Amino acid sequence: MADRMLQFVAVPQRQPEKRGAADRRQDHDEIYRDFDTAQAETQSGRCSQCGVPFCSVHCPLSNNIPDWLKLTAEGRLAEAYEVSSATNNFPEICGRICPQDRLCEGNCVIEKGFESVTIGAVERFVTDNAWEQGWVKPIRPSAERTASIGIVGAGPGGLAAAEQLRRLGYQVHVYDRHDRVGGLMIYGIPGFKLEKEIVLRRHALMEQGGIVFHLGRGVGAQDGDREIAFATLRARHDAVLIATGVYESRALGGPGAGLPGIVKAIDYLTTSNRLSLGDAVPAFDSGELDAAGRHVVVIGGGDTAMDCVRTAIRQGAASVKCLYRRDRANMPGSLREVKNAEEEGVEFVWLAAPEAFLGDDRVTAVRAVRMRLGLADATGRQSVDPVEGSGFTLDADLVVKALGFDPEPLPALWGEPALDVSRWGTLKVGQTSFMSSLPGVFGAGDIVRGASLVVWAIRDGRDAAEQIHRWLERNAAEAPMQVAAE
Ligand code: FAD
Ligand code: SF4
Ligand code: SF4
């Protein structure tokens, strides 16, 4: 079957078809269509089956990419799914939202000259097809264990850990202050990148596999109706994993920064996602978080900013501008998303930063200043300095702050000063043990590494689960634990 591979010279790269921009603006559905089986097989056949696959080296999950590409090219789709899902809990999600240009595809050796293999699109196809064929099954552990694990946070980090621990037979309980599972995959990332149904079907599958979810139950300092005390959680479970992500929005300074009409990106996106899920959101009905008919200015240059500008377009904004203090080449967000945003009608104002927000009882304009890039610092990042006398004003009756996120102060919020955090507020854990300063309490995902990616949260969740298992086994060896056959 080797003749099916190495086709990159003869077969050009084809990404899945993208819906036209005018069509995309009308709804919050995904913009890329699925590969069909023939396209997936043909595109997989472009892989040159490298002896040292740099694609895998640069995938945070070390996915066995050449193997599942070969199986797909050969039409062995059930096996391709087995291989792909062995290292990734949510391959169809990573296939959709990983920044492949910076990870696997950006490091594909045929990228130079021939354009990379479309790894993400094939990964998505393989798992979507597996769902359609009924090959994606709930977990059935071969034996049940009595030990229980409490996981705080139902984002990708917590969910990946929950699956891995449940596979080993543990009693797994996941607590989340939200009413739905998925973390930022459900309430942060918009449907045009990741349709909500993809996340919801994973939730249902995990429940069928015996993972217990306690939704609308935040962890805090004291027990209450909607909250469970961290101390109670520790007493209830043999081990605890903290996977709470980062939610403290960075503040915006300058005169007028507190005016009504200036909103946080997380509130804006959560509202939009809730509406897509059919929820009633009073803050939207009052017009506070609705871009319809408004001149919208989004401040920031990361993935969150890209998601906000594209959401505003879909809500029918009169104009949408993205204000970023560096240039296109130096922005943290994915260039693929900038292109998508531009196609949909977003205007980027590069090298510009806000100075003040104008308006009496509501924001009406942003006064901004041009910036110039200066010398690089020790990290290689260029400084940015304002250009004197370059001030200008942009109309704005909705301003969205998308400047990034920091961790919430967990030790104070949870009444547990012994929980060590770094000077940035991220949870301190052992590099290989994933254990925090408290015995039996582990950490994973954004709360440990700071705002990152879904694929890294999955990786951390899997690694933390393995360390929790080892720690419980070690403890069990000292005081034998009951292991009951199913
Ligand atoms: P989260 O996904 O944040 O989940 C944490 C969960 O913990 C949440 O459900 C929260 O409700 C819960 N929680 C928090 N505190 C408590 C508490 N006290 N008690 C109970 N529950 C609690 N990554 C990509 O790879 N691709 C993208 O395209 C992408 N786009 C993004 C767009 C936006 C707008 C944002 C904000 C992020 C994006 N990311 C993207 C980053 C990615 O979503 C995160 O890195 C990832 O979700 C982190 O996973 P996590 O499990 O650590 O945390
Ligand atoms: Fe690429 Fe992400 Fe899939 Fe890894 S998980 S192969 S980085 S799309
Ligand atoms: Fe195939 Fe590219 Fe990976 Fe090589 S680097 S194995 S060509 S996908």
Mean pLDDT, residues 459-481:
90
Protein residues whose CB sits closer than 6 Å to any atom of ligand 1: 97-98, 152-158, 175-178, 183-185, 188-189, 193, 218-219, 243-245, 269, 303-304, 307, 445-446, 452-455, 457
pLDDT tens across 47-93, in order? Answer: 999 999 999 999 999 999 999 999 999 999 999 999 999 999 999 99
Q: Is residue 55 part of a domain?
A: yes
Same domain, 257 and 387: yes
Query: Do residues 468 and 239 touch, judged by C-beta distance below 8 A?
Result: yes
Inter-residue contact 81 to 126 (CB < 8 Å): yes
117 & 164 share domain: no
Q: How far apart are CA 248 and CA 384, in angstroms?
A: 24
* Model confidence pLDDT, tens digit, residues 291-327: 999 999 999 999 999 999 999 999 999 999 999 999 9
The CB of 149 under 6 Å from ligand 2? The reply is: no
**Number of helical (H) and strand (E) elements in the chain, helices listed first:** 19, 20
Average pLDDT, integer, range 10-16: 83
Q: Give the residue from 81, 112, 133 where a domain finishes.
A: 133
- Taking the centre of ligand 1 as the mean of its atom positions, its distance from the CA of residue 127, in whole angstroms, is 22
% pLDDT > 90, the chain:
85
Same domain, 70 and 215: no
Q: Which of 234, 216, 235, 236 is nearest to 226 (CA)?
A: 216
Q: Which atom of ligand 2 is nearest to the CA of 123?
A: 3
Are 374 and 416 contained in the same domain? no
CATH (domain of 192): 3.50.50.60
> pLDDT digits over 440-461, tens only?
999 999 999 999 999 999 999 9
Residue 31 domain-assigned?
yes
Same domain, 34 and 116: yes
120-146 residue pLDDT tens: 999 999 999 999 999 999 999 999 999
pLDDT in tens, 144-181: 999 999 999 999 999 999 999 999 999 999 999 999 99
**Distance in Å, CA 16 to ligand 3 centroid:** 19
40 and 75 housed in the same domain: yes
Tell me if 63 CB under 6 Å of ligand 2.
yes
pLDDT bucket at 336, cuts 50 / 70 / 90? confident
**Which contacts of 98-106 are long-range, i.e. CB under 8 A and separated by 24 or more positions?**
98/453, 98/454, 98/455, 99/334, 99/336, 99/453, 101/334, 101/335, 101/336, 102/334, 103/58, 103/59, 103/60, 103/455, 104/55, 104/56, 104/58, 104/59, 104/63, 104/65, 105/55, 106/58
Identity of the amino acid at 405: F
Q: Which of 404, 424, 456 finishes a domain? A: 404
Tally of domains within the chain: 3
220-226: Cβ within 8 A, 24+ apart: 220/413, 220/414, 220/415, 221/413, 221/414, 221/415, 222/415, 226/177
Distance CA(179)–CA(147), nearest Å, equals: 26
Q: Are residues 25 and 113 in the same domain?
A: yes
> Starting from the edge strand earliest in sequence, which strands make up the sheet with 347-349, in order?
262-264, 398-401, 295-299, 319-323, 347-349
Q: What is the pLDDT of residues 90-124, one digit of tens each?
A: 999 999 999 998 999 999 987 777 789 999 999 99
pLDDT digit string (tens) for 401-433?
Answer: 999 999 999 999 999 999 999 999 999 999 999
Domain that holds residue 266: 251-404
pLDDT for position 321: 98
pLDDT at 215: 97
Q: Which of 381, 404, 427 is the last residue of a domain?
A: 404
The answer to the question of residue 300 being in a domain is yes
Ligand 2, atom 4, lies closest to the CA of: 59
Whether residue 63 is found in the same domain as residue 187? no
Is 259 in the same domain as 376? yes
88: Cβ below 6 Å to ligand 2?
yes
436 and 347 in a common domain: no
> Could you tell me which of 369, 347, 368, 346 has the C-alpha nearest to residue 357?
368
Quote the CA–CA distance of 320 and 34 in Å, as a whole number. Answer: 29
Ligand 3 pocket, residues with Cβ under 6 angstroms: 47-50, 53-55, 65-66, 108-110, 117, 119
Within 13 Å and on the Cβ side, how many CA atoms surround 467?
A: 22
Dist. CA 460–CA 164, nearest whole Å:
11
Report if residue 138 sits inside a domain.
no
Instruction: Identify whether residues 108 and 86 lie together within a single domain.
Output: yes
CATH code of 125's domain? 1.10.1060.10
User: Is the CB of 65 within 6 Å of ligand 2?
Assistant: yes
* Domain identity same for 381 and 414: no
